[in-house]
Chains A and B, each alone.
Chain A
């Protein structure tokens, strides 16, 4: 068997920058694939990914589900006889892939380097500040803070067009930057996942099948079981040496699910129903079950991120991982969202007006960051890893495996 190796030197350079600078030390002993608790007998990793990286075989790697199935437990790095840190290299491959599939490219490039951190913070900070300036609400309200909370952050009353009441000012201005941000992130994620699926199919030799699953079949047989596995953390729990990380990731994931629900609820109640029933605006009562979910989720988020923060430090200390911007940026962003969110709420409750407004502003900035950079940073694992886990199931199913179905 011969293989035409066309190394991509830029890829190797990018890998080095993203924390994979040790990859050249690998001498292919394959210890990593055996000590890895996640790699299977038929599809072992990361030994193969190490040599592909050394050879600069970018195309093989960006369409390789295994790079995403790795959860960076760190056993491979701990047992590597050459200090080649396969766990870090796998992380660097993922970072590269998110950048590769990222759209628009300039934004993807911007979000994948620590050197750009000032810009990454400045963009949302500026956007939110400009919106606040445009909203004309440059006067801090003095009264009714306890009652209204931050619902007048962008000014009181309604936005009107030709005399027609559109939306409450706050809802209007928050939506003015959050909806485009969320739409961009969703579109970019969709585009990326589609491209990844195509690449993985191509690399795995999954040709045109005679019978393809219908959408409900696909969801039922492949996507849903993957989601169940993710929610239950089945694979994460196999990372025996790193159980602590599961204990951090699990509350974090649940808090995101909780906050997603709360945000959807408040979107419906404030932005849609609130149009007709203005009394729905303003902070919810602490006894409102939805508010309770929100508060529990906020605490779970902070607990989870503290555990993960500590764990990341320990992994670095134990030489299971290196310090990379890719890993830390997501931790920082989530910690930022949690601290500013809960901080703003507490400041509102104790009635500290000016500082409360500042923290609320920072909260809006950090939330926008999280959304805006989702498809390009480590946060992208949310969609890409789910895609790879779904693909793994599809690849091993009768749709692909049955020769009758592959003319």
Chain B
């Protein structure tokens, strides 16, 4: 293929930490970049964390600077609520059909919040994994970029829609907005479609729906976050009890042929990190970590060693395979202690399932003609200009994601020239 036919542009699918990094790296060396995001905001899973590795920064640190770089870079065209419909053409000149779902709020929005005050209908707050409610017209989260409200039209009654429209001083609410389809021509595509927490309801032996005291590690992040449903307090859902004991259930779905066959890489470190959240708030609380192996890649070893010395924490080698809901609101977790021998029945106030990463792209990837491995991760084909980045490629932490995103950007621009 001659250079003349190449558009030189790059499409980045996914606006999390990997997508943002890849887009910026490609744009800052002069390439045209389209970055699309399915959610109404950029930032992805990192935005939902309380702190993230390697330095335990809050997500504002890191994401904000990236948002600013995106805003200031005229080479990047960001689209939220946008997904890929189809990919045609070939390497060097892909024609990609994109669709933007209606936000029902146009760019006049100043995020003043008057509409939300007037809104009478509520929806489950997806950003907080349904742990609280938000108004049907909402800003996805405090530092949402773009800073613009979204309307869940289907959840609103006619009266509510009228009230919301009436409350907006800027004529920003357009309930007639429809889905828009448009086409971009690009040389290569970076797939940074990220991950979803593994659905804990599928772990039937752990009976995750039997008690509100059984939460996931991502729910724990939201609880610990100052902008979360509890304002940063870690309380037992259901009765808001301050906890005196907590169990972490490692490998909840990961390294399991019946669920996720692979190690999700981040859950051990996430648990160690969350132990520090517990310690900050409850210096005396008993912490029990049930594990198969504790995997602390690279220099994270030190982090583990520090927590292993915690007098009120115990580490039990044995996977939790049964959880019994107790009458007092707590739960009993059951595991076999493979080192000490005998079964352990540990009663705790709350239990965290360290659920793993399931690649978010799923079946759609195959339909779009991507090469995928047996677990649903995208396999890069740089010669075709199809490049995977971050957790779409393999389960990884933020640090590894940014590395892989930078590498993806390099491959993408090589293909674009």
Contacts from A to B (Cβ < 8 Å): 27-35, 39-42, 44, 47-48, 79-83
Q: How far is the CB of B114 from chain A (nearest CB, A)?
A: 52
- Contact B343–A27 (Cβ < 8 Å): no
Cα A44 to Cα B335 in complex, Å, equals 10
Determine if B2 is an interface residue (Cβ-Cβ < 8 Å). no
Q: What are 18 A-B pairs with beta-carbon distances under 8 A? A: A27-B292, A28-B292, A29-B255, A31-B319, A33-B336, A34-B334, A34-B343, A39-B343, A40-B343, A41-B342, A44-B343, A81-B251, A81-B255, A81-B256, A81-B257, A81-B258, A82-B255, A82-B257
Chain A contacts of B336 at CB under 8 A? 30, 33-34, 44, 47
Q: How far is the CA of A79 from the CA of B341 in the complex (A)?
A: 21
C-alpha spacing A40/B257, complex, angstroms: 26
Sorted nearest first, the 3 A-B pairs with minimum C-beta distance are A81-B256, A34-B321, A30-B336
Residues of B within 8 A of A (CB): 205, 251, 255-259, 292, 317-322, 334-338, 341-343, 345
Q: List, in ascending order, chain B residues with CB within 8 A of A79's CB.
A: 205, 258, 321
Q: Which residue of B lies closest to A33 (CB)?
A: B336
Residues of A within 8 A of B334 (CB): 34
Which residues does chain A contribute within 8 Å of B322, judged by CB atoms?
Answer: 34-35
B258 touches A34 (CB 8 A): no
Query: Which of chain B's residues has its CB closest to A42's CB?
Result: B342
What A residues does B251 contact at CB under 8 A? 29, 81
List, in ascending order, chain A residues with CB within 8 A of B255's CB. Answer: 27, 29, 81-82
Closest Cβ of chain B to A187, distance in Å, is 38
Residues of A within 8 A of B335 (CB): 30, 34
- Asked if A30 and B321 sit within 8 Å, CB to CB, the answer is yes
Closest CB-CB distance, B287 to chain A, in whole Å? 20
Cβ-defined contact, A30 with B258, below 8 A: no
Q: Tell me the interface secondary structure of chain A in the complex.
A: loop
Residue of A nearest to B292 (CB): A29
Q: Which residue of A lies closest to B250 (CB)?
A: A29
Chain A residues contacting B345 (CB-CB under 8 Å) are 41
Q: A28, B321: Cβ atoms under 8 Å?
A: no
Q: How far is the CA of A40 from the CA of B334 in the complex (A)?
A: 12
Q: In whole Å, how far is B247's beta carbon from the nearest beta carbon of chain A? A: 14
Task: Check B342–A31 contact: CB distance below 8 A.
Answer: no
A31 and B321 within 8 A (CB): yes
Q: Given A34-B334, A79-B205 in contact, is the A29-B318 Cβ separation under 8 Å?
A: yes
Task: Determine the chain B residues whose CB is within 8 A of the CB of A48 once the complex forms.
Answer: 341
Interface centre among B292, B336, B337 (most CB of A within 10 A): B336
B256 contacts A35, CB within 8 Å?
no
Contacts of B321 in A (CB 8 A): 30-35, 79
CA distance A81 to B252 in the complex (A): 11
Residues from chain B with a CB closer than 8 A to the CB of A82 are: 255-257
What CA separation (Å) do A48 and B341 show in the bound complex? Answer: 9
Assembly CA distance A30 to B339 (angstroms): 11
CA distance A42 to B345 in the complex (A): 12
Q: Which residues of A contact B319 (CB under 8 A)?
A: 29-31, 34, 81
Complex Cα distance, B259 from A80, in Å, reads 11
Complex-state Cα separation, A40 to B343, whole angstroms: 8
How far in angstroms is the closest Cβ of chain A from B412? 37
Residues of A within 8 A of B341 (CB): 44, 48
- Give, as a whole number of angstroms, the nearest-CB distance from A343 to chain B: 44
Contacting residues, chain B, for A81 (C-beta < 8 A): 251, 255-259, 319
Point out the residues of chain B lying under 8 angstroms from A33, CB to CB: 321, 336, 343
Docked pose: A47 CA to B342 CA in angstroms? 11
A25 to B: closest C-beta gap in Å: 9
Q: Bound state CA distance, A32 and B292, in angstroms?
A: 13
Contact indicator A44/B256 (Cβ below 8 Å): no
- With both chains docked as a complex, state the minimum distance between the C-beta of A259 and any C-beta of chain B, in angstroms: 41
Given contacts A41-B343, A47-B338, contact A30 B318 (CB under 8 A): yes
Q: CA of A47 to CA of B335 in the docked complex: distance in angstroms?
A: 11
**Inter-chain contacts of B343 with A (CB < 8 A):** 33-34, 39-41, 44
With a CB–CB cut-off of 8 A, which chain A residues contact B257? 80-83
A124 shortest CB reach to chain B, Å: 43
- Taking CB as reference atom, which chain B residue is nearest A51? B338
Task: Report chain B residues within 8 Å CB of A35.
Answer: 205, 321-322
B259, B337, B342, B345: residue with the most chain A Cβ atoms closer than 10 Å: B342
A44 to B318, CA, bound (A): 12
